[in-house]
């Protein structure tokens, strides 16, 4: 049955119109689902019983099962089980500006980035919009909090599940629903250039982050196979187009891998690559994982890299390290769970 969490307000309006009902019923239903957070359609008091029965026949208020939860001071990590028993994860981080939830977009991932745990399990399937929405609702309910920011940086490549991701954005944006503003949502992509162009045309106002991780094709192709399909030049061309069309700043993520991409030369090359582009670089201390050989760069190396970028007038920040104790990096919790760790 169709999950109620996977329908947009427009689709619900259409649904009610087709039944000969007023379309504002969609707003009423949205309010029950997302404001009052009901778990049963029978709790609705302002829609007539016969119509409730019809709704019950067509939609379900489904759930997401929490399999495990790990906590550190500033981070909580959830492992969820989907209806088909597949597992996904979401990570909640406390920032000074609020809390930010990192959600998964696929079961597994086909990008095969060599440093990333998620890609060790190939894509099994896409998540639908409802399964993305439920990650937010479940954690809000579990902790009795409101999530202020959502980042699509968990397991999966959001732009390899483009339509569901756009639908998800439409649903969380909805003022009568969760009402999370576009500026509070960030989509991160490994660089599916064709989809970046589609994204430009869709005109969504959410933040865009690009996992760059290397300043040249030789290195990037080694650690991110997607670079063989869309090289850095094509990627940067698309990003410039995005900035031109949206007037928005782009974030480049750059994982610091010891002796791989953290040299002074890399920092200089990266500065030259990004010169004049309205962006900032987020240097990410690599979260080491048992299955993958890469080591994290030393603090000194990261600071040196940072300084070189700064000197070259590139906006740069170093990401605070979250939840190393709970294996908060992409894909690590699911992977450990499956091995009984």
Residues 6+ apart with CB under 8 A from 322: 72, 74, 75, 91, 93, 328
Output the smallest distance, CB 197 to ligand SAH, in A: 17
Active-site option among 89, 131, 157, 253: 89
Residues 107-166 that bind ligand SAH (CB under 6 A): 111, 113, 115-116, 153, 157
Q: Which is nearer to ligand SAH, 44 or 116 (CB)?
A: 116
Active-site option among 109, 266, 279, 330: 330
For 274, phi then psi, to 5°, come to -100, 0
Q: Which is nearer to ligand SAH, 128 or 253 (CB)?
A: 253
**Sole binder of ligand SAH in the list 107, 235, 284, 314 (CB under 6 A):** 284
> Can 265 be counted among the known catalytic residues?
no
b/e code 95-122 from CB counts within 10 Å (16+ = b) = eeeebbbbbbbbbbbebebebbbbbebe
Per CB under 6 A, which region of 61-69, 141-149, 244-252, 285-293 contacts ligand SAH?
285-293
Q: Is residue 262 near ligand SAH by the rule CB under 6 A?
A: no
**Sole binder of ligand SAH in the list 253, 305, 322, 335 (CB under 6 A):** 253
Q: Is residue 328 near ligand SAH by the rule CB under 6 A?
A: no
The residue behind tokens 């119509």 is 51
What distance in Å separates the CA atoms of residue 83 and residue 123, rounded to the nearest whole number?
17
Q: Is residue 192 near ligand SAH by the rule CB under 6 A?
A: no
Instruction: With beta carbons less than 8 A apart as the criterion, state whether 113 and 190 touch.
Output: yes
Per CB under 6 A, which region of 19-27, 37-45, 71-79, 280-288 contacts ligand SAH?
280-288
Output the smallest distance, CB 34 to ligand SAH, in A: 25
Q: Is residue 16 near ligand SAH by the rule CB under 6 A?
A: no
Q: Is residue 289 near ligand SAH by the rule CB under 6 A?
A: yes
Give the count of alpha carbons within 13 A of 225, CB side only.
Answer: 9
**Sole binder of ligand SAH in the list 164, 186, 189, 261 (CB under 6 A):** 189
Instruction: With beta carbons less than 8 A apart as the criterion, state whether 71 and 326 touch.
Output: yes
What distance in Å separates the CA atoms of residue 101 and residue 147, rounded to the nearest whole number?
7
Output the smallest distance, CB 113 to ligand SAH, in A: 6
Per CB under 6 A, which region of 13-21, 195-203, 279-287, 302-310 contacts ligand SAH?
279-287
> Can 141 be counted among the known catalytic residues?
no
Q: Is residue 99 near ligand SAH by the rule CB under 6 A?
A: no
Which residues contact ligand SAH (rule: CB under 6 A)?
111, 113, 115-116, 153, 157, 188-190, 211, 253, 255, 284, 286-287, 289, 329-330
Catalytic positions: 89, 330
């Amino acid at each position: 049955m169709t999950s109620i969490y996977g329908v947009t307000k427009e689709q619900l309006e259409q649904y009610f119109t087709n039944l000969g009902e007023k379309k504002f019923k969609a707003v009423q239903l949205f309010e029950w689902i997302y404001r009052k957070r009901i778990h049963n359609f029978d709790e609705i008091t302002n829609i007539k019983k016969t119509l409730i029965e019809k709704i019950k026949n067509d939609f379900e208020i489904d759930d997401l099962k929490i399999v495990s939860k790990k906590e550190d001071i500033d981070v909580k990590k959830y492992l969820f089980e989907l209806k088909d028993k597949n597992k996904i994860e979401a990570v909640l981080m406390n920032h000074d500006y609020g809390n930010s939830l990192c959600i998964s977009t696929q079961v597994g991932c086909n990008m095969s980035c060599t440093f990333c745990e998620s890609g060790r399990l190939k894509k099994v399937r896409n998540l639908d919009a409802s399964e993305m929405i439920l990650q937010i609702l479940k954690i809000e309910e579990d902790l009795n909090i409101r999530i202020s920011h959502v980042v699509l940086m968990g397991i999966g490549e959001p732009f390899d599940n483009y339509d569901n991701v756009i639908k998800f954005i439409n649903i969380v944006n909805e003022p009568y629903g969760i009402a999370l503003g576009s500026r509070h949502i960030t989509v991160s992509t490994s660089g599916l250039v064709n989809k970046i162009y589609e994204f430009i045309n869709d005109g969504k106002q959410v933040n865009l982050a690009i996992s760059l991780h290397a300043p040249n094709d030789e290195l990037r192709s080694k650690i991110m196979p997607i670079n063989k399909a869309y090289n850095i030049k094509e990627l940067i061309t698309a990003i410039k187009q995005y900035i031109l069309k949206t007037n928005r700043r782009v974030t480049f993520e750059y994982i610091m891998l010891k002796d791989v991409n953290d040299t002074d030369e890399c920092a200089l090359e990266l500065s030259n690559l990004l010169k004049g582009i309205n962006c900032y670089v987020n240097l990410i201390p690599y979260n080491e994982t048992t299955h993958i050989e890469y080591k994290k760069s030393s603090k000194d190396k990261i600071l040196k890299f940072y300084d070189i970028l700064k000197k070259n007038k590139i906006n740069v920040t170093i990401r605070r390290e979250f939840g190393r104790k709970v294996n908060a990096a992409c894909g690590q919790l699911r992977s450990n769970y499956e091995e009984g760790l």
